[in-house]
Amino acid sequence: MTTEQTVIALRQAISSIEDHRKDFHHVLETEMINDPRLTDEQLLVLKKNRFNHSEVEILSLVNQKTELPYKTLTTQVTFSQGMLSRYITKLLKADLLTKVTLPDNKKAYNLRITATGAILADLHDQLHVKERKLYAAALAQFSEADLATVLAVLKAVGEVRLD
């Protein structure tokens, strides 16, 4: 296989993985629709807002503790504090999270998950468990050396910069 053919095959594989990420959101939406815990009103709010994966990930992080200090959350996400703030605002407006002010510090606050937020977080977490099992099954056919090579290739490709 020539270098050009390899690059084309790699782009196709990456595109397939990106498609998988898009499918994740679609499957999550389907799971929401089929979940008997969600009322029609809750579903309407969830569909209307169309939350991205990072927003749902925030719900999962808060759901692990039921209530989480905002400051702690900033250390657990990979995006900027400004982006986190925008996501939190959207989740608060959709009534998936609530703010809990702290009596000793008026600037700091905790985030508490609502019942609807907990359901969405649970569905998200269940999908990730299923996804991990499917990945493990797909990867089981390869040796550790094969996987180490693939990881090295992906890391090298990921470090390529056009600038």
**For the domain that residue 45 is a member of, what is the CATH number?**
1.10.10.10
E-assigned strand segments in the chain: 67-69, 97-102, 105-113
Q: Judge whether residue 21 has pLDDT over 80.
A: no
Among 115, 72, 112, 64, which Cα is nearest to 92's? 112
12 phi, psi to nearest 5 deg: -65, -40
Percent of the chain with pLDDT over 90: 61
* The predicted structure's pLDDT at residue 34: 94
- Whether residue 163 lies inside any domain: the answer is no
Q: How many CB atoms lie within 10 A of CB 62?
A: 27
pTM of the model: 0.83
Q: Judge whether residue 89 has pLDDT over 80.
A: yes
Q: Judge whether residue 145 has pLDDT over 80.
A: yes
- What mean pLDDT comes out for the span 57-82? 93
- Considering the chain, what is the average pLDDT of its residues? 91
Question: How far is it, in rounded angstroms, from Cα 129 to Cα 1?
Answer: 36
- Whether residue 147 lies inside any domain: the answer is yes
- Whether residue 109 lies inside any domain: the answer is yes
- What mean pLDDT comes out for the span 33-37? 94
Q: How many CB atoms lie within 10 A of CB 24?
A: 16
Ranked by mean pLDDT, the top range of 43-47, 60-64, 103-107 is: 60-64
* The predicted structure's pLDDT at residue 24: 82
Q: Judge whether residue 154 has pLDDT over 80.
A: yes
Q: Judge whether residue 122 has pLDDT over 90.
A: yes
Instruction: Give the CA count within 13 Å in the CB-facing half-sphere of 31.
Output: 17
113 phi, psi to nearest 5 deg: -85, 145
* The predicted structure's pLDDT at residue 54: 92
Q: Judge whether residue 3 has pLDDT over 90.
A: no
* The predicted structure's pLDDT at residue 132: 93
- Whether residue 113 lies inside any domain: the answer is yes
* The predicted structure's pLDDT at residue 163: 83
Question: How far is it, in rounded angstroms, from Cα 126 to Cα 16?
Answer: 22
3-class DSSP state for residue 67? Answer: strand
Q: Position 122: which residue type?
A: D
104 phi, psi to nearest 5 deg: -95, -5
34 phi, psi to nearest 5 deg: -90, 0
- Whether residue 154 lies inside any domain: the answer is yes
> How many distinct structural domains can be found in the chain?
1
Range of the structural domain that residue 84 is part of? 3-158
